[in-house]
Structure 1
Amino acid sequence: MGESEIIAERAPARFTVLGLLAIADSHEVAVLQPSKPAALLAALLVRPNTVVSVESLQRVIWGEETPATAKAALQTCVLRLRRLFGKYGIAGNTIEAVPGGYRMAADPQTLDLLRFRSLVGRAGAAGDLGTELALLRSALALWQLPLLTNVHSDALHRDDVPGLTEEWLRSTERVFDIELALGRCREALADLRPVAHAHPLHERFSEQLVEALHRSGRRGEALAECRRVKDHLLAELGVDPGPALQRLELVILRGEPWPGAPGPTARRAAVVPSGRPLSPGPLRAATLAELPGRSADPVTDDTPQGQGAHRDPGGPATGELVLATLVQAGLLEEAPHGRYRVHDLLRTFTRAAAGSRSPAPPGRAADPQPDPRADHGQEHRADHRPDRRAERPAERRRGCPELLESPRQPAAPLRPTEV
């Protein structure tokens, strides 16, 4: 069988840039080795069907120090690529010389980047969330991060790769928005957690992870994620998380039920059931009916007999009940010998309350003063010990999983090829 017959039997070759730069057909995936022709091909493929100027291509290949022979060397690179194309049945005029530069002809069948964009466009026009989700997952399956690691070009990785990565980020964020809107919180966690950890500066992923954990009944892990993001942003950039993540943390700390899954096309501010936005206010003595997770009916109170007097639902809660509730909410962490570690948010609230407290009216006891010894890293002894049945907050998870890999697998064996 002659070479022309072998080429005729092959499926149309396609180029890949959403991973390694390669040429693939039904028989094999030829991964291009780092070289000047490979950098030229990558620069044309990331801007398909567009005229790329000679000056831009020279910067991709040689950087800012372009040699005097760059124009002739660029033409040599084009000739080498055309010879490579002939081995895979690709027409030589796929790279077209035009006034001022070169243009690479491609379509969704011959370039994975255009196929990805076609699927994303169809997903945006879908009439239901299920169809949109399926199309987006098919589009994201084309990716193998990180991009173009076999192309050694600082200009390409500085000017073009970040824009491609942003397309992946937007589509991935949309997938998780749809998952949460459909109530698939537990199912989304397996993919959402590693993506959020791999992109700690992309706060939307962290917001989605905290939401999914909280709606799955894992409040301790949700609070630990809030702390992880806060610590990372403070260490790396010296800033606090954005308002959306702070509102989520307040919803969890106050023990409020989730106000409703936000739609995938709009991000609503978290609100309490009354419809008022959450805002930190001065602390005061809470009544039994106001404490999260407690019934206003004194008959249903689960305090053991002999450990406290009968509670009036309209009266103030005892110190024991307040401590137990704070431990359950994650604001206090119980330590040995009746000591407690204070959450930063609780310390901030108590200080704000101390500064804004007005004198108590006649006949009413003043609010208890916050313990001035509650500070970073310090422990203090409480006046009352909480009910030992109070749940301990979940331990913070450590570690940062690697970037989530796409499930796509090459259809044919990989082999390196030189241009």
Structure 2
Amino acid sequence: MTTLELVLEWQSPEARHLERYLARRVNLWRDVFPPGLKEVLLGKSVGDTVERIYQPGDAVPKHDPKLIHNVPRSRFQRRTVGGRAIEPARGRFYPRGMLGDMLGVYPQDSRPGRIIELDESSMVVDLNHPLAGRPLTLRATVKDTADKVTETGGRLTCWLEEIADSGPGMQCRGGGHPTSFDLQDGLHRLDETEDSRFYASPRIIGHVDAQAGEFLKETYAAALSTLPAKAKVLDLMSSVQSHLPDHLDLHVTGLGLNLEEMEANPRLAERVVHDLNAAPKLPFPDKSFDVVACSLSIEYLTPPRAVIAECARLLRPGGALMVGISNRWFPTKAVRIWMDLHEFERVGLVLEYFQTVPTLTDLRTVSIRNWWRPEDDPHIDQTLTSDPVYVVMGTVQG
């Protein structure tokens, strides 16, 4: 049995994308791999990395025009989730079973389909794989090997399906058109009371498990490796943890809602209490930071586009904006649209925020999924899997 780290790289018109996935309990003899990958993996040792490049149709099915259907809008199977009615929207993904009566689609079909056009009477639905038509680069690194105790029974896993059929591709636009996220009603929250009241009492806790926190640091570190000493960083919506790499010599200013939480954060050199939802304009001059990082908090913003524009204003030419997200939040304070979206669509939502600011370029996304949760984590009895990590990054034009 083998443990592999799989890394899938691909590009959309708007961004570059990197998907990391831990493949556990891999059986190189029985499992299914993309063409040619098994052959180059056999005989490799721990630490070895192999790479394969796949053209459209080699690993993921080619884009097939026959999988695009014109369907009456009335056939959309509306559902209510958490008291919220799910409505059709252009560019959004839905389980195929919600998209109407089409050949090969049954009501329980949970595979994603995308609405690419929509009017009052009809919708055009694309049932192609979200990565169809895109060249892919796949790397596999051997992380661990162990003798298999028995060859009787067991499971057979298709590893490309594991990494590619669970979200990658859903974070990009369809046909180059902005996705119609509901930013009119979707930015409301269950609890609309002042945030200063909700955050008045300090919460001296982390919001993801330790492994996920390390992955945030690692992803930020890779993006910030060329920063000079004492580079100025704004930790936006700051709390007890900044998730910034420890080995970099940074001057970090924290901006958050609870001073006691920020005082418990040793990474901060300065602390500013400020309510972004009440006053999205940031209290700093233009071009005053080299980096702005917002970790595990953007889902609480009710004026997200205004705040992202402010972040770009604060950045010096070549400066980086980094937004890290996961799948844990305070449900009464998260905006409603956030809870309606697939995890990769949340990445797409943040990408849409970035694309409203013309000076933000070189957009990138990273996903990290399926690692083991630390044994001492308080939620280990609920899941053995670490919290997923997603990061959206952009650079201000020089």
Which structure shows the bigger proportion of residues in helix conformation? 1
TM-score range, shorter chain: under 0.3
Q: Which has the higher strand share?
A: 2
TM-score by length of 2: 0.23
TM-score (norm 1): 0.22
